[in-house]
Amino acid sequence: MTTPAVSPTGFDLTPPTDAERAELEAGLTREEADVLLHHGTEAPFCGGLLDNKENGVYCCRLCGLPLFRAKTKFESGTGWPSFWAPFDESHVVGVRDTSYGMVRIETRCARCDSHQGHVFPDGPPPTRLRYCINSVSLAFVADGEPLPDPLRRGDDLAMAPLGS
């Protein structure tokens, strides 16, 4: 048995087993599956989290891993939720994407490898990065609420309290 990979913030990054993945994917809507599993993109200015101003954490819709804190969210004018930094750099993986005749960096969840969006070098200080993320890729958790833990790994206890 291998030792699970644990992020600096204490979250288990071990990928889901095939059985766990099948269970997680069974709960997705058609639009969520298109984006998370098939690298699709939701229409701009339509996502349910675009105008969310609450304090909390944005987690991966598929596996529940915290990806972004509300305090790093900003209005980019692009039509998708945008963040200037991840919750924990080890929670978001960048992959070179050359689809549609462009060269971009796709962002994926480090635990389940689900597509989240893209990161661009035109964000605000201090990072100058813009993580442009699909709303359907995320599950928002308000401050004080338990984190989703669909893999039953005790992630809801990894950081308490999380804060925004």
Quick one: how far is CA 56 from the chain centroid? Answer: 13
* Diameter over CA atoms, the chain: 47
Structure confidence by residue, pLDDT tens digits, 12-65: 999 999 999 999 999 999 999 999 999 999 999 999 999 999 999 999 999 999
154 lies in some domain: no
60 lies in some domain: yes
CATH code at position 41: 2.170.150.20
Catalytic residues: 132
Structure confidence by residue, pLDDT tens digits, 129-155: 999 999 999 999 999 999 999 999 886
Q: pLDDT class for 163, splitting at 50, 70, 90?
A: very low
CA angle in degrees (0–180, nearest 5) for 128-134-138: 100
37 lies in some domain: yes
Find the domain containing 118 and state its range. 18-147
Domain tally, the chain:
1
For residue 65, give the nearest of 19, 116, 3 by alpha carbon: 116
5 lies in some domain: no
Q: What is residue 71's predicted lDDT score, i.e. its pLDDT?
A: 97
